[in-house]
Amino acid sequence: MSLVVDSGVLLKAYFSDEEGHAEAQSLISDYARGAIIFYAPSLITYEIINACLVASRMARFPEGKAKELMNEMLEIEIIREDIEPLKDRIFDISVRFGRSAYDGAYIAVAESRHLPFLTADKKLFNGLKDHFPFVKWIGDYHKIRKQ
């Protein structure tokens, strides 16, 4: 199975106090078994680094632990898509749906690859699921993996 994933999905697998943690861990287990290929816009690297940095600054994790988690997540094999060819579509999605260019990038990659997009952003999911049926919520991963 191939999926576009956002950084929040990976973060939920490593941050045990997050809603969707169990489903995100199942996803990572499936990946470790070779059952999943991940895709994402190249910006996922920056998002993971920033999320771990913020977690450290907010004392959610000590700096050393946050850096360790960051490195673990960045070692996950993700096919990082260059968003340059998708820039117009990203812009159009972002304008039409009032989303950030970051959100638009994930949608555009999933759309161009004809893949499901698994997100951990509940607001994004709720705002776009009716417009883009390939947008899926991490909390529903158990249903998705059975399809």
**The predicted structure's pLDDT at residue 93:** 96
Cα–Cα distance for residue pair 99/128, rounded to 1 Å: 10
pTM, 2 dp: 0.88
What is the residue-level pLDDT of the chain in tens, covering all 147 positions?
A: 999 999 999 988 888 777 778 888 889 999 999 999 999 999 999 999 999 899 889 888 888 888 999 999 899 999 999 999 999 999 999 999 999 999 999 999 999 999 999 999 999 999 999 999 999 988 888 777 766
Residue 47's pLDDT is 93
**Domain housing 109:** 2-145
The per-residue DSSP string of the chain comes to -EEEE-HHHHHHHH-TTSTTHHHHHHHHHHHHTT--EEEEETTHHHHHHHHHHHHHHTTSS-HHHHHHHHHHHHTS-EEEEP-GGGHHHHHHHHHHHT--HHHHHHHHHHHHHT--EEES-HHHHHHHTTT-TTEEEGGGHHHHHT-
- Work out the angle at residue 56's Cα, subtended by the Cα atoms of residues 117 and 23, and round it to the nearest 5 degrees: 30
Predicted pLDDT of residue 60: 83
The total of structural domains in the chain comes to: 1
Q: How confident is the model at residue 66, as a pLDDT?
A: 87
Beta-carbon count within 10 A of 116 CB: 18
Q: Compute the distance between CA of residue 85 and CA of residue 117 in angstroms, rounded to an integer.
A: 19
CATH number (domain holding residue 140): 3.40.50.1010
Predicted local distance difference test score (pLDDT) of residue 88: 97
* pLDDT at position 107: 96
